[in-house]
């Protein structure tokens, strides 16, 4: 198998991890080996020394990019779930990762805030937390992702099936 990185970008609460987890279950059941890099887990392991300033956020994503580059270069499918809020950082990922498929997990911030499974939005609104993408740090929507998943209009299964069709059409799986 040729290595690819499926790069999920979108606001916190948009559904990146939920979709990637379901996709990984399906692909693993088909015998496809893959690596799933979730932004929250990366923060607790690979980037546990970093905070949330702009510089530290950029360093975190840079580390994810380099990990994805190695995984992809070694012929493994990689699912990376990271907010990656700027065009610049996503362009950087594309420049280093030869086979990158960008998936924009699109969802209005009002819906993401209602989902707020991790309580981040509530912490930001109460003043307990700052430096949060979508509230006081801008999120730049991707200009030309390979696929947009509208998670406020699609079920998880509909989004996953849409993504599976895209990967099959591109002969990635």
Catalytic annotation, residues: 84
Cβ contacts of 131 within 8 Å, gap of 6 or more? 52, 53, 54, 57, 137
Task: Report residue 141 as tokens.
Answer: 């929507």
CA distances from 43 to 49, 63, 133 (A): 8, 10, 15
Q: Is 35 left (phi over 0), alpha (psi -120 to 50) or beta?
A: beta
């Amino acid at each position: 198998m040729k290595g690819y990185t499926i790069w999920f970008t979108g606001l916190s609460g948009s559904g990146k991890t939920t979709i990637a987890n379901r996709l990984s279950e399906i692909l693993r059941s088909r015998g496809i080996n893959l690596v799933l890099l979730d932004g929250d887990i990366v923060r607790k392991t690979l980037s546990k020394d970093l905070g949330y300033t702009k510089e530290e956020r950029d360093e975190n994503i840079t580390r994810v990019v380099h990990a994805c580059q190695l995984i992809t270069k070694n012929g493994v499918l990689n699912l990376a779930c990271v907010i990656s809020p700027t065009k610049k950082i996503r362009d950087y990922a594309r420049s280093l990762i030869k086979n990158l498929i960008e998936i924009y997990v699109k969802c209005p911030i009002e819906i993401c805030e209602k989902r707020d499974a991790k309580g981040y939005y509530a912490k930001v609104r109460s003043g307990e937390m700052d430096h949060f993408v979508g509230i006081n740090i801008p999120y730049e929507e991707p200009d030309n992702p390979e696929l947009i998943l509208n998670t406020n209009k699609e079920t998880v299964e509909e989004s996953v099936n849409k993504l599976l069709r895209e990967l099959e059409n591109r002969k990635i799986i």
